[in-house]
Structure 1
Amino acid sequence: MASANLLDTKTVNLNEVLGNGKIYRVPQFQRDYSWGQDNWEDLWNDISIVKETGNPHYMGSVVLQNVGSKQYLIIDGQQRFTTLSILTLAFIARIQKLSEDGIDIDANKERVDILMKQYIGQKDPASLRYSSKIFLNENNDGFYQQRLLTFKSPINVNKLSDSERLMWDAYVFFQKSIDRDFKSETGENLANSLNKVIGDLLMFIQITVEDELNAYTVFETLNSRGVDLTSTDLLKNFLFSLVAKSPTDLSQVKGQWKKIIDAIGLKDFPVFLRYYLQATRQMVTKESLFKVVKQYVKTNSDVFDLLDHLEKYAYTYVALGAPDDELWIFDKEIRNCINALKIFRVTQWKPLAMVAFEKLPDAEFKRLIFSIVAIAYRYNVIAKLQTNEMEKIYSRASINLFRNEQATYQSALNDIKLLYLNDEDFKNYFQIKQFRTSNSADKKILRYTLYKLESQEGGHSYDFETDAGTIEHVLPESYPEIWHDEFTEDEYQRNIYLLGNLTLLEPSKNNKDAANEDFNHKKLIYATSQYTITKKIDFDTWTSNTVKHRQGQLAKIATTVWKI
């Protein structure tokens, strides 16, 4: 366990969370309430199971930041905290209704007071209103305090914001669920269900941290383990807090932030921010991102400077992942390169490309993208080498290009040339390359590869995504009996997905004529194909040695296709 001043972790139930006079605040700029019908139904079903079995139910992790005086910021868990608060209000409203209907009036009134104090907060002696244990963000807290905590219906539901409407719908949902499933329950039984079932048996892993940096670290740790958290919210809260003293600055920052998030998307923002820093400042790991941001951003002007640069690069970053983006509308060759890199699922090059797009003339930017495709195909697709060093090299190249006013395509290329696999090594890796055609990602890269080879050999510029050509296995994928003399089962397994055994063929020839025929029959069909690489399959027999020989031929062609 980490030292006490970093974080504290323990398992607690809802009663322990809301007990001991603790106050919880959703950070001012945290996202609005967003749970919907599916979430409410899941929670209600969980409660029903707990009630029936008497077994605890774990609600997952919550991350709290201790800000002193028994006050905590809800770094992660606001959706659950808010929903459970609304649920308790629905239970309390039901008991209050019993009292109003003349059922056990005094006892139910007392139950309402006790439960409000236990789950909602203390009553103010002046206003006689309950002061909340939970305070929501700037957009939701007014409705929560003024309507839900006072059991007042909205004046006009249609005028509510989306998040306010969701909060109200949650309250109505739980009221209806209680009316249905606790229809004839007494106030005593309702209070017992709230206190002993929901309060005692809904469990949380409570992680308490002492500062924003540790909160971010916990976020990233939980994210890496598949927990649905958003570090973007934490970064936003930090930036907004630096300008919050000035309403004008805050309004401007909010507007600029919205533009960036609308362009990038909440989920992808941390990656974009990290790539921006790697392109212009320093190499940044996912875990150190928040620490590095705090290093560079300390004042109002730093926030504006960062957001200005992020807005400038945001549209380029998006376009680098979208072949159909309007940025490439007049350049089919760049579109094809962006598409290829997307298919390769390689992204480490993006920091360099972001800077190059801003700094280099169009023709030099285009040359650099061509070179990046060649590097990525050799390094990532065929050799499948480690990407850790790759990210560092691209970051150094990006920063050099960003800082150097005289930078050129050649200087950028010199900075990344270590990643360019030489022809001999490339051929060696290429000659053993297999593509699993049952895997959709592999199949897409295979089509790209075969069509590029076809273009080089036959001069035909077919579009590998739209052309009707199919993948043909010379040695059939089904391993029919007529091929058993040429390939043992072991040889079949080793050869079926080798590139030397794969080619392009028109659908009609593949499905009807070639299919599972022997090689001599297939060879006659290949001779009539429109694809040059298929016509050239003109061997006497098709064996393991033939597959190896053809793959060697394709490897030589490949060195001329993916070349700087």
Structure 2
Amino acid sequence: MMGNARAIYQMFDGSDTKLTIPVYQRNYDWKVANCQQLFNDLVAMVREKRTNHFFGSIVEIGGDYSGEKQIIDGQQRLTTVYLLILALVKLLEEGKITSSTMIPRKIRDSYLIDQYVDDVENLKRYRLQPVKHDAVALMRLFGPESGYIENSNQTTNFQFFQDEILKQRISADDLWEAIQHLIVIDISLRRSEDNAQLIFESLNSTGVDLTEADKIRNFVLMNLPADQQEDYYNKYWHPIELNTEEGNEYHVSEFIRNYMTFNLKKVPAMGKVYQVFKQYIEQKKLTTEAVLQDLVKYSDYEKQIRNAQSPSDKVNELLKRLDVLEVSVTRPFILPLFDYWQEGNITADEVATILGSVESYIFRRLICGMPSNALNKLFATLFSESLKYVEQEDNYVDIINHLLLSKTEVSHFPTNDEFAESIETRDAYNMRQQTKYYIFDRLENQDSLERVNVIDGMQNNRFTIEHIMPQTLSSAWKRAWEWLSSDL
């Protein structure tokens, strides 16, 4: 291992230079706030006439005699500086800012692209080569604004830098001078001698910047040959990300936590998911590919559950209702239940009936004000517990119902009498909002085919709760209530 202080922009220099972000790395996720801090630091350097500014470390594996390097740590810094240089160059080329010393084409060819590769869609053209999602967004920034990918962090931060440069807090020449004095410690590893995985874990031991899924992805892909990394990423990891996607975010860490929960029959702490996962596959002596294949299969169930897109409409209706109640605690049971179903052991109607039992169990407990923390262990073990009775009982629905009804103390299934008493006396105003949504949706729609979107109407204030009896009683209401009470 060798470490040298150097200007970060020089890492892009060289006719054969290619800085590759391996597929096991997370995507670029610096936000505008991070870019604002960097730009402010550069402005301060100029105004305070400071010689340089230390910008952290970069860890890379050199490509021996070639100019290709894999970035093990520091991609956020490298990508951000690359975007800043590109923002500066494009503004100069478009004539929106001027310079007395810079030649934009020279900067572009020296630090941003390989001028001898003409194909703009070829990633090899670019000195920085990010992970797939980011690569397309980055390439588009070299073209017209109409082609930018708007929901990308690259695009957002590139546009931020252009806006900041146009404010001209410092001149373009001073900005370029400051960029050339951003100093990093460049730590170069030898492929044959240094253990990249151990070094990576040491650098990121605090877990502040990386999610548990980031660390797991690095663990399963990092030590594979480069071509196999790409193959496994495309075949396994990327589908896992897509299957757990919601909005613009991936929920891989949460999914793997649920996966480990039903396998280990206990819930790992969210900050320990990586360590638990690593110990699990090492103790079981599982191959990387076998683990990834299993994760892909269960991530597909995760997608079906999360989006209510299973093969059964009846099951999907139950999933939607459970989603309204926001009870993710049930996921470690529903995931293996889906596998049991889709492997042909039970029918869709049985799954729907079981989910109905779970729905009743959860809702009754909410109305009765029973603690939810008792449910973690129950749903972590419910599926594995049910398999013990399969040989004794043919009806799987009966097994699940028996197990739910047999729970005692803090986990017990509220009786009809307990539920009836609680729903009559429960302070509805202080219920969770989601519970209120669920109640009104069920009261209005029940199992009708013609449904009214009650939840959307309540969320957007199109539907309101009208009081027959006001919350604060006037004198007339008090007299009427006294009269009614005495009459009864």
TM bin (shorter chain)? 0.5 to 0.7
Q: Which runs of 5 or more structure 2 residues have no equivalent in the other structure?
A: 12-18, 62-68, 93-98, 124-134, 144-153, 185-196, 458-462
Which one of 245, 263, 270 corresponds to residue 225 of structure 2? 245
Partner of 1:165: 139
The aligned residue for residue 128 of structure 2 is none
Seen in structure 2, the aligned counterparts of structure 1 residues 387 and 80 have a Cα distance that, compared at 3 Å, is: farther
Partner of 2:214: 233
**Given that residues 368 and 409 in structure 1 are in contact (C-alpha distance below 8 angstroms), is that contact kept between their aligned partners in structure 2?**
yes
Q: Alignment partner of 1:541: what SS?
A: helix
Q: Which among 310, 313, 320 is matched to residue 305 of structure 2?
A: 320
SS at match of 1:321: helix
1:259 to 222, 239, 253: 239
- Distance in 2 (alpha carbons) for counterparts of 1:154 and 1:230: 36
Distance 1:239 1:343, change over 3 A: same
> What is aligned with 2:79?
82
Of 160, 168, 185, 1:181 maps to: 168
Q: Do the aligned residues in 1 keep the contact of 2:120 with 2:139 (CA within 8 Å)?
A: yes
Task: Give CA-to-partner distance per residue, 1:14-47, whole Å, 9 cap, x none.
Answer: x99969x9xx9955521455779x6898568645
1:30 to 15, 25, 28: 25
| Displacement of 1:180 | 7.4
- Distance (whole Å) between structure 1 residues aligned to residue 203 and residue 374 of structure 2: 29
Residue 475 of structure 1 corresponds to 469
Instruction: Give the distance between the partners of 2:254 and 2:198, measured in 1 at CA.
Output: 26
Counterpart residue identity of residue 411, structure 1? I
CA distance in 1, matches of 2:164, 2:448: 65
1:432 aligns with 2:418: no
For the Cα contact (< 8 Å) 1:66–1:210, is it kept in 2?
A: no
Letter in 1 for 2:353: R
Q: What do the CA deviations read for 1:90-121 (whole angstroms, capped 9, x no partner)?
A: 88999xx85688xxxxxxxxxx9xxx9xxxxx
Count of matched residue positions in the alignment of Structure 1 and Structure 2: 397
| TM-score normalised by structure 1 residue count | 0.54
1:132-211 pair list within 5 angstroms: 148=111, 152=115, 155-157=118-120, 161-165=135-139, 168=142, 181=168, 189=174, 193-194=178-179
Query: 1:385 is paired with a residue of what secondary structure?
Result: coil
Q: Amino acid of the residue matched to residue 289 of structure 2? A: F
How far did 1:394 drift?
0.9
Could you tell me how far apart the structure 1 residues matched to 2:288 and 2:102 are?
Answer: 54
Distance of 2:230 and 2:35 partners within structure 1: 37
Task: Give the CA deviation at 1:371.
Answer: 1.0
Amino acid at match of 1:429: S
CA apart distance, 1:372: 0.2
Tell me the distance in 2 between the aligned counterparts of 1:64 and 1:382: 54
Which of residues 277, 280, 304 in structure 2 aligns to 1:293? 277
How many angstroms does 1:464 deviate by?
5.8
Q: Note closer, same or farther for the CA distance 1:439–1:84 as it changes in structure 2 (3 Å cut).
A: same
Partners of 1:230 and 1:382 in 2: CA distance: 35
- Separation in 2, partners of 1:28, 1:235: 12
Q: Distance in 1 between matches of 2:227 and 2:427?
A: 60
SS of alignment partner, residue 485 of structure 1: helix
Distance of 1:184 and 1:215 partners within structure 2: 36
Structure label with greater radius of gyration: 1
Quote the Cα distance in structure 2 between the aligned partners of 1:257 and 1:48: 38
In 2, distance between residues paired with 1:399 and 1:213?
A: 33
* CA displacement at 1:395 relative to structure 2: 0.8
Q: Deviations over 1:383-412 (max 9, x none)?
A: 343333211111111233467763733333
Structure 1 CA distance for aligned equivalents of residues 158 and 306 of structure 2 = 43
The superposition leaves residues 332-381 of structure 1 with CA deviations (integer Å, 9 ceiling, x where unpaired) of xx3332222111111111221222233242243232211101110012x2
Counterpart of 2:146 in structure 1 is none
What is the one-letter code of the residue matched to 1:346? V
The answer to whether the aligner puts 1:356 opposite 2:350 as a matched pair is: no
Residues 328, 181 of structure 1: alpha-carbon distance in 2 compared, 3 angstrom cutoff: same
Decide whether the 8 Å contact of 1:283 with 1:392 is kept in 2.
yes
Alpha-carbon distance between aligned partners in 1 of 2:111 and 2:449, rounded to the nearest angstrom = 65
CA contact 2:240–2:299 (8 Å) conserved in 1:
yes
Pick from 324, 336, 360 the counterpart of residue 374 of structure 1: 360
2:256 to 256, 259, 273: 273
Q: Residues of 1 paired with 2:122 and 2:198: CA distance?
A: 39
Are the counterparts in 1 of residues 243 and 302 from structure 2 also a CA contact under 8 Å?
no
Summarize the Cα distance change of 1:471–1:150 in structure 2 as closer, same or farther, 3 Å threshold: closer
Deviation by residue 1:418-451 (Cα, 9 ceiling, x = unmatched): 2312344434433332333998535412303544
In structure 2, relative to structure 1, the CA distance for the partners of 1:175 and 1:466 (3 Å cut) is closer
After superposition, the Cα gap between the structure-2 partners of 1:385 and 1:234, relative to the gap in structure 1 and judged at 3 Å, is same
Counterpart CA distance in 2 for 1:480 and 1:48 is 64
State yes or no: 1:410 paired with 2:398: yes
Q: 1:439 to 1:283 in 2, by over 3 A?
A: closer
Counterpart residue identity of residue 296, structure 1: Y
- Provide the residue aligned with 1:465 in structure 2: 453
CA separation of 1:40 and 1:368: change in aligned 2, threshold 3 A: closer
* Structure 1: gaps spanning 5 or more residues: 1-14, 102-111, 117-143, 201-208, 487-517, 520-538, 547-564
1:319 to partner: Cα distance: 2.3
The aligned residue for residue 326 of structure 2 is: 345
Percent identical across equivalent pairs?
A: 15
Structure 1 distance, partners of 2:250, 2:158, is: 31
